[in-house]
């Protein structure tokens, strides 16, 4: 993040150790998955969701993020309607 134009989100994506790169859309999905409810203000939930991911999955959080976003169809089998978020 010491490079001009690289913020936390970009750093989470390009780091050799993937982070939990939440944007508004993925925050909506992870609010449903991790909190059981759709957030009315997903942008304000990003720090809380990142902290929860770090506490729960530690250095594996980036891999969890990638897995979840690539397997939304199968996660729907758990009665989670992720198509609406």
Tell me the pLDDT tens digit for each residue of 29-51: 899 888 888 888 999 999 999 99
pLDDT at residue 1 tops 80: no
Number of domains in the chain: 1
Evaluate the CA torsion angle 64, 33, 53, 27 in order and state its sign.
positive
Report DSSP state, residue 84.
Answer: -
Domain membership flag for residue 51: yes
Q: At 74, is the secondary structure helix, strand, or coil?
A: helix
d(CA 43, CA 70): 22
Per-residue pLDDT band for 81 (boundaries 50, 70, 90) equals low
Domain membership flag for residue 1: no
Contact 69, 29 (CB under 8 A): yes
Q: pTM for this one?
A: 0.77
Q: Where in the sequence is the domain holding 26, given as residue range(s)?
A: 8-78
pLDDT at residue 84 tops 60: no
pLDDT at residue 2 tops 90: no
How is residue 8 written in tokens?
């936390």
Domain membership flag for residue 3: no
Average pLDDT of the chain is 84
Domain membership flag for residue 35: yes
């Amino acid at each position: 993040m010491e490079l001009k134009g690289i913020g936390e989100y970009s750093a989470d994506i390009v780091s050799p150790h993937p982070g939990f790169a939440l944007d508004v859309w993925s925050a909506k999905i992870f609010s449903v998955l991790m909190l059981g409810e759709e957030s009315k203000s997903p942008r304000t939930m990003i720090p809380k969701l990142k902290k929860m991911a770090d506490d729960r999955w530690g250095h594996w959080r980036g891999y969890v993020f990638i897995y979840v976003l690539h397997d939304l169809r199968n996660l729907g089998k758990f009665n989670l309607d992720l198509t609406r978020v």
